[in-house]
């Protein structure tokens, strides 16, 4: 009986170790002026989405975005030039693979914007006014590889535009309102 309990204890300990291996990791944020942030990211194949390392990367990005208190996170910000973004909208995470804006409102809104990858000399997030479309429509694939469409406005619209810019090698500081080129 004791041996049986010992085996059960050993088995549950092994399961805990395996669970810990599968826990999401906090990733390091790439900071401007790193050249990775200026590269256009490649599309992700539907075969890649099913791979364990890609599933782990999505979880790691979600954890990193939440822990760093970001509204979103794009793969280039963690050193991967692939078309993957994670957004936090009203407490729920949205994972977008190969996102593409298909429609933009004519109207724009100027608001303060910041970025986990753009910090000042003290390591604090730098904020500036940026004009963004009030509304966007976006096509993307979800984490299961299903094609989705989202109609976004306000903060979600701004976050989608900001994160897709990262996939195209563009930073919000390139779009500062009133900045002369």
- Kindly list the catalytic residues: 163
First to last CA, the chain: 78
Radius of gyration of the chain (CA): 19
Angle at 32 between CA 26 and CA 37, to 5 degrees: 80
Which two tokens mark 20? 């810990």
Buried b (16+ CB within 10 A) or exposed e, 79-111: ebbbbbbbbbeeeebbbbbbbebeebeeeeeee
The neighbour count for residue 65, using CB atoms within 10 Å, is: 24
Question: Distance of CA 45 to CAs 54, 73, 75, 82, 102, Å?
Answer: 11, 20, 15, 10, 20
- Using DSSP's 3-state secondary structure scheme, residue 133 falls into strand
């Amino acid at each position: 009986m004791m041996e049986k309990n010992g085996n059960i204890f050993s088995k549950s300990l092994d399961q805990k170790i395996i669970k810990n291996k599968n826990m999401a990791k906090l990733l390091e944020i790439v900071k401007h002026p790193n050249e990775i942030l200026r590269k256009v990211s490649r599309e992700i194949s539907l075969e890649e989405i099913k791979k364990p390392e890609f599933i782990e990367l999505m979880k790691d990005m979600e954890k990193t975005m939440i822990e760093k208190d970001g509204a979103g996170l794009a793969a280039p910000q963690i050193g991967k030039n692939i078309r993957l973004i994670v957004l936090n909208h009203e407490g729920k995470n949205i994972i977008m693979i190969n996102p593409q804006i298909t429609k933009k409102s004519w109207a724009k809104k100027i608001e303060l914007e910041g970025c986990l990858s753009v910090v000042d000399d003290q390591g604090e997030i730098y904020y500036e006014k940026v004009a963004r479309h009030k509304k966007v429509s976006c096509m993307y694939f979800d984490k299961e590889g299903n094609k989705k469409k989202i109609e976004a406005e306000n903060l979600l619209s701004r976050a989608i535009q900001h994160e897709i810019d990262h996939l195209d090698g563009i930073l919000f500081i390139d779009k500062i309102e009133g900045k002369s080129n």
